[in-house]
Structure 1
Amino acid sequence: MSTHRRTGRRSPAGYRTSLPWRIVTAAAAYVDRRVGWDRLPVVAGLLTLLGLRVRLRQRNLYDTGRLPAVDPPEPAPPSASHQVNRTADGSHNDLSDPRMGMAGTRFGRNIPLEAIAPATPEDVLSRPSPREVSRALLTRDRFIAAESVNSLVAAWLQFMIRDWFSHGTSPTDRPWEVPLMDDDPWPERPLRIMRTPDDPTRDPHAPAGTPDTRVNVSSHWWDASQIYGRNAAEQHQLRTGERGKLHLWDGEQAPVPADLSQDPTRVPGFWLGLAMMQDLFTREHNAICDHLHAAYPSWGDEELFQRARLVNAALLAKIHTVEWTPAVISHPTTVKALRANWWGIAGERLHHLFGRISDSEVISGIPGAKTDHYGVPYALTEEFVAVYRMHPLVRDDWHLRSVTDDTTLRHCTLRDISGPEALKFLETTKMADLLYSFGTLPPGLVTLHNFPRFLQEFERPDGHLQDLAATDILRSRELGVPRYNEFRRLLGLKPAASFTELAHDPAWAEQIERLYDGDIEKVDLMVGLYAEKLPAGFAFSDTAFRIFILMASRRLNSDRFFTEYYTPEVYSPAGMAWIDDNSMVTVLLRHHPQLRTPLSGLANAFVPWHTAARKET
């Protein structure tokens, strides 16, 4: 096992700034601005994306951890188990910097720290107010479907987000008070939106002008914390204590704590799609435990749990990289680029025959390559959070149907399948029927005028009424994420010179111009992202894609369990084989073989499934 370590303390400008790389990155930026990566032949497009990724690594990684801090989270003392096990809180992933990426550490940034705007009421509540934007530009008048994918895309995304990031529970004091127009039907005046929790590690004596920071209460690593818990106490509660396994929703002890304040079904955002993914991959963990027990019968509960967790987390990362993302951005160039992230340009077939044939991530993929933080300690970023605000993916209306003959079981709304009510559907409807329904229903397109109406009038478990569309707009302002044009400038992209250039729909361009009083520099990031003309095969914007080019690979590159420790010695040979041999399709069929007909012939479970033939009556 390699003991190579990188401190990750170089400056962003120190990453690959040799003359050849400067030429490559400058050429990629020039070609992208003049032609567009998506309009090039596939090979030329791949080379352009490679150059853009290097350029983004050079210019768009910024560390907030060096800003003044008090009482940062303290990792447990080092132990031998940290060498080969993921910790519950994400500490000790980087053995030379145990705090890096652990729960309770700060979000990083993809913009210079001096570009972070302070969260003043004048900016956060400026005209148009977040509520005006919600009503005028985001309200779903009719459902706009993303026909190339199915609704498991929406369920999967929230399942991943529950692993990646959370700002924590908002305080109830000092809410933002959003003024309302006279004709606004909102039942409370003004509309109150709770603030993002303050950074508890912020030094109160920090110099004036120190950029605002927030912490991620989840681990920053791609470690399946939504399944395994964010700390040791949560993890202990989820485990059965036998053969490494986890409790199931329908097991003898359901994974819902007696303390209702800790009930995951009462956390805002819990719904049926999330429960389905949680159940599926809890079962997958237990299946991996059985597989490892058969291969290594002497292993006890702890060894089985830790190896199965590594395998399950890696399988999730693989599915997201080579299945989910290529489904939602199905341009031929991005499909090849994403598969190359995992297997390199050598490809999957050569990987299965010979394993890694090169140390280069370009040739043999990131898993198993060297760990690299690109000069900046690893953390997820506020900009990454901002571009993942994709609530339009979620439908308002759901038609649950039988996998056997496609007959209707029930019509329901998003309200019906949200919160604790979601568990009733798991109790009264077969899981195979639920998965079939999601697999044959399209999600929404991430675009303007397509925000779920239920989420614009969302009643939280605490009874507080919330407009999530207005909240999404406010959050980017509050957290200092730049407005659309400035965001593009900071990513090296050309800003929109006019509203007709910004929006692909002329009617939308007029609406945006009218709402923002003709000032294109004020257009909120999310509005710009939703208004853009999409590259072929994309379900979200090209501007958002720039953050993915940078951060999607970084989540793998910085994690030693996906790089230098992605080995049979750590995962076990049987564990590595499980990752190689499985996909979302095989996971679904393992636990729900009734899905074999709708999934027949499909290589990607996130594209529309075959519809079962109705039986004659």
Structure 2
Amino acid sequence: MLSIKDNLYNQWNIFSQTRNLFHQLGVYSWRTVKLAAVIYFHKISLEAMQDVVTTTILLLINYASGNLDEMMPNLPNQEPSSVECPGSFTCNTDDRDRYRTANGACNNLISPSMGMSFTPQARFIPPMYSDGDAPRDYHDMPSARLVSNKLFDAKNTTIFSTIHTVQLMAYGQFLAHDMAATPGEGADLDCCNHTNALKKDCYAIPVPHDDPFFKNITCLNFVRSSAADKSCMTGQREQMNDVTSFIDGCMVYGSTEEHMSELRDTQGGLLKMSPSGLLPENPNGDCRKNLPEQHCHLAGDSRVDEIPHLGMNHLLLVRQHNAIAKKLQEINPNWSNEIVFQETRKIIIALIQHITYKEYLPIMLGKKAMNRHSLRISSGRNPFNDQYDQGLDPRIRNSFATAALRIGHTLIVPSLAYLSSEYGTLYRENLDDNFFSTHMILKDDGQHTDNIARWLTHEHCMKADRFFQPEVRNKLFKLEGTSHDLAARNIQRGRDHGLPDYNTWRQFCGLIPIKFSDDPIFDHDKESSDKIKELYRHESHIDLYAGAISETAKAGSLLGPTFQCIFVRQFQALKSGDRHWYERPRGKAGFTRDQLNSIKSMRLSKMFCDNFNLTKIQPNAFLKRGRKVYCKDFPSLNLELWKDMSQ
């Protein structure tokens, strides 16, 4: 019989050999390797397995079935889920369809409903609800408002980014609305009213008795996101996505054929605009109407009027669409209204994808991560790049929409302004006076949109960190004496959606789990580490948003390692899982080499120049680096390349 010492020695050899095997396969998570060894060789008891996360088990199942793509660290992880509601529709199956559907259907010809609007969001790893589908909330977890007070309070300090403009934050929100919209988040239900407190959709945020801002109230209203229809799901509660998962400009064009038709003009392939060149009026919109001349805007996304920054980006793309459509109609007078509209829409979507991956993502992720994970955009003699994989799930992941993408909230500035042609301040207002208000855009019949555009691309946004300005942390959606806390809402939303705890996500990303015994904890500075330890009684309680947003950013990136991991996997899926991706060589269904190179020569700065009467702007609208250059010196989109295209 082997001694205890010999038995341990043999088990260690087995474990080491198995660990090396998994390293060769690209699996680096310590927990995954450990479990692989002990399960594979039956050297573990049931009790010892209970603390292992569900995602690790799923990874091993995939290994046993030979599905190694699930385990490669540089590829998007795909959970074995089929949580979607297939519609009754048919698709062209020869990959020659030139235009996307409005609702995203038929992008994937194997699973036609994958990524379409009004289907459940996907997940990288399964949810962790407390009981059934109750929010992940334990009796000794801190209130989301307390987390906000301790971890996100800027303490009345205003630390601006040294190089990033307000447009970086504004574009991030605009892009977010292209990919995700969770119904129920704004439901008209007062959960702080005791008569509603026990309703299943209520999940109010307790306010600490000594709260420094919210006095004489005990809670902040919070309504749970709508659950997907049970007939759509195979397991626990999932949240819907009301827009398409793809980067396809649905915030400009809508996510249904009916909505798209409502936005279109009757001729010339145009989108509707007001007589003064603004977005059309939406009589059923949700915005403040303090003055008779104020109104809500009609756009591809109903959230257009949340803040003026967002409305300006909508206006930019609608103006750009109409400018391109008019030119295409002039070049090809024989084209029908439908052809002009669809060709223009295809170009606009390509521009959005290009700007996102060429200008926006390198700032968020860093160039090193872009190169390592094949996200970099190239041009030149061969601008095509076909990474499409129809077996890849392109859907928006819950953790991305509910947590990682909300890193942009820390960039929000406390005010907005009109800037003159010389970039002097003409007029300024507080942000909290402009939630759901269109008056700064509509003032003087829209004569100040150029001034707002200068502000967006010239003034600095806040530094990317864990701090929220008071205007969104205490005065969010300020109206008639009430307001909310954006940081607390983010924490509460993650719990509502059953997002697993922070350490589970670190393990998923192959990162070392944090321990409270470490000082400071991994990837955090001393101050944030101390606050997390003060707030949470156990490492397994830490919310993903709280733990990840307080991480020290990786070199060259605005994100810490956990959010960078989620960003990378999501944007890999969006690029490689999109059959209509703009760089794909698809013959007449795609772009020619010259057309694609012309699209890739475009800059967001050039679009601001052409649509807001600017004369000078820096080369990258997101960055304050370098001197401003004349707009005439930027390359233009050469629409002559679309002349007499065969139909």
1:576 equivalent in alignment to 2:576: no
The answer to whether the 8 Å contact 2:123/2:398 transfers is: yes
The structure 2 residue matched to 1:341, chosen from 375, 389, 400, is 375
Q: Which letter maps to 1:441?
A: E
Match of 1:509 in 2: 529
| Alignment match of 2:221 (pick from 192, 197, 208) | 192
Determine the structure 1 residue equivalent to 2:52.
none
Q: 1:427 to 1:313 in 2, by over 3 A?
A: same
In 1, are the aligned partners of 2:392 and 2:573 still within 8 Å (CA)?
Answer: no
Map 1:161-200; keep pairs closer than 5 Å: 161-170=176-185, 171=187, 172=189, 174-184=201-211, 185-186=213-214, 187-200=216-229
Tell me if the contact between 2:165 and 2:622 (Cα under 8 Å) persists in the aligned partners: yes
Q: For structure 1, which runs of at least 5 residues remain unmatched after alignment?
A: 1-18, 31-50, 357-364
Match among 144, 162, 165 for residue 159 of structure 2: 144
SS of the residue aligned with 1:237?
helix
Quick one: which amino acid aligns to residue 450 of structure 2?
Answer: A
Write the distance in 2 (CA, Å) between the matches of 1:383 and 1:551: 10
1:591 aligned to 2:607? no
| 1:62 correspondence with 2:79 | yes
- Per the alignment, do residues 254 and 547 of structure 1 end up closer, same or farther by CA in structure 2, a change over 3 Å counting? closer
Aligned to 1:16: none
Post-superposition shift, 1:20? 11
Partner of 2:169: 154
- Equivalences for residues 410-489 of structure 1 within 5 A: 410-421=427-438, 422-424=440-442, 427=445, 429-459=447-477, 465-489=483-507
Question: Normalization by structure 2: what TM-score?
Answer: 0.75
* In structure 1, C-alpha distance between the alignment counterparts of 2:332 and 2:258, rounded to whole Å: 28
Offset, 1:132? 0.7
Residue matched to 1:554: 573
Structure 2 counterpart of 1:608: 624
Larger Rg: 2
CA distance in structure 2 between the aligned counterparts of 1:229 and 1:394, rounded to whole angstroms: 26
Is the Cα contact below 8 Å between 1:62 and 1:110 reproduced in 2?
A: yes
Residue 429 of structure 1 deviates from its aligned partner by 5.0
Specify the SS of the correspondent of 1:388. Answer: helix
Deviations 1:486-530 (A, max 9, x none): 21012221112335124633233222222224x233222112122
Q: Against the structure 1 CA distance between its residues 104 and 407, is the aligned structure 2 distance closer, same or farther, given a 3 Å change threshold? A: same
Alignment of 1:281-320 (within 5 A): 281-320=317-356
> What residue identity is the alignment partner of 2:369?
T
Letter in 1 for 2:143: S
| Other-structure match for 1:217 | 242
| Residues 248 and 463 (structure 1), Cα distance of their counterparts in 2 relative to 1, 3 Å cut | farther
The correspondence for 1:229, drawn from 254, 261, 270, is 254
Distance 1:419 1:611 in 2: 34
Distance in structure 1 (CA, Å) of the matches to 2:130 and 2:75: 22
Cα distance in 2 for residues equivalent to 1:445 and 1:425: 30
Structure 2 residue aligned with 1:381:
397
Q: CA–CA distance in 2 between the matches of 1:145 and 1:82?
A: 48
CA gap of 1:249–1:472, structure 2 versus 1, over 3 A, is farther
Paired residue for 1:528?
547
Q: Give a deviation string over 1:78-111, Cα, whole Å, max 9, x none.
A: 4699922211111111233221111111111111
In structure 2, distance between residues paired with 1:568 and 1:290: 25
Aligned equivalents of 2:602, 2:304: Cα separation in 1: 32
- Partner residue of 1:238 out of 247, 263, 283: 263
Identity in percent = 21
For 1:151, the aligned partner's letter is: V
Instruction: Please say if residues 419 and 427 of structure 2, whose CA atoms lie closer than 8 Å, have aligned partners that are also in contact.
Output: yes
User: Residue 96 of structure 2 contacts residue 586 of structure 2 at CA under 8 Å; is this kept in 1?
Assistant: no
Sort the Cα spacing of 1:502 and 1:414 in 2 relative to 1 into closer, same or farther, 3 A: farther
Change (3 A) 1:466 1:450: closer
CA contact (8 A) 2:181 2:242 kept: yes
8 Å contact from structure 1 (residues 163, 224) kept in 2: yes
In 2, are the aligned partners of 1:25 and 1:52 still within 8 Å (CA)?
no
Q: Does the Cα contact within 8 Å between 2:75 and 2:572 map onto a contact in 1?
A: no
Cα distance in 1 for residues equivalent to 2:304 and 2:273: 21
Q: 1:295 to 1:556 in 2, by over 3 A?
A: farther
Question: 5 Å matches for 1:258-273?
Answer: 258-260=283-285, 267=303, 270-273=306-309
In the TM superposition, residue 274 of structure 1 has moved relative to its aligned partner by 0.6
Q: Paired residue for 1:44?
A: none
- The range that moved more, 269-278 or 223-232, is 269-278
Question: What's the counterpart of residue 586 of structure 2?
Answer: 567
Query: Match for 2:119 among 89, 94, 105?
Result: 105
**Contact kept in structure 2, 1:104 and 1:217, CA below 8 Å:** yes
Of 85-94 and 265-274, deviating more is 265-274
Preserved CA contact (<8 Å) 2:128 2:136: no
User: Relative to 1, partners in 2 of residues 1:292 and 1:499: Cα closer, same or farther, differing over 3 Å?
Assistant: farther
The 3-state SS of whatever aligns with 1:96 is coil
Is residue 131 from structure 1 mapped to residue 131 from structure 2 by the alignment?
no
Displacement after TM superposition at 1:26 (Å): 4.6
| TM-aligned CA distance change 1:371 to 1:490, over 3 Å | same
2:634 corresponds to which residue?
A: none
**Alignment-mate amino acid for residue 341 of structure 1:** L
Moved more, 96-105 or 185-194: 185-194
Instruction: Tell me by how many angstroms 1:58 deviates.
Output: 6.2
The higher-RCO structure (CA 8 Å, 6+ apart) is: 1
1:160–1:116 distance in 2 versus 1, CA, 3 Å: same
- What is the one-letter code of the residue matched to 2:400? F
Q: Is the CA contact (8 Å cut-off) linking 2:105 and 2:115 kept in structure 1?
A: yes
* 1:440 Cα deviation after fit: 2.0
Paired with 2:159 and 2:535, the residues of 1 have a C-alpha distance of 22
Write the distance in 1 (CA, Å) between the matches of 2:522 and 2:464: 16
Q: For the residues of structure 1 that align with 2:27 and 2:135, how far apart are their CA atoms?
A: 39
Do the aligned residues in 2 keep the contact of 1:199 with 1:215 (CA within 8 Å)? yes
Aligned to 1:7: none
Measure how far apart 1:268 and its partner are. 8.5
Displacement of 1:470 after TM fit? 1.0
SS, match of residue 488 in structure 2: helix
Alignment-derived partner of residue 46 in structure 1: none
* d(CA) in 2 for partners of 1:543, 1:472: 16
Structure 2 unmatched runs, 5+: 1-19, 32-67, 190-198, 288-295, 630-647
Distance 1:545 1:452, change over 3 A: farther
CA contact (8 A) 1:105 1:216 kept: yes
Q: What SS is found at the alignment partner of 1:241?
A: coil
Indicate conservation of the 8 Å contact 1:556/1:563, yes or no: no
Q: Give the 3 Å change call, closer, same or farther, for CA 588–110 of structure 1 in structure 2.
A: same
- Per-residue CA deviation, residues 330-351 of structure 1 (Å, 9 max, x unaligned), is 4x5235457x5354xxx42xxx
Tell me which amino acid in the other structure corresponds to 2:623. Answer: V
2:603 maps to amino acid: S
Distance in 1, matches of 2:396 and 2:136, equals 28
Change (3 A) 1:304 1:459: same
**Match of 1:218, as an amino acid?**
V
Change (3 A) 1:430 1:423: closer
Aligned to 1:35: none
Partner Cα separation in structure 1 for residue 73 and residue 239 of structure 2: 23
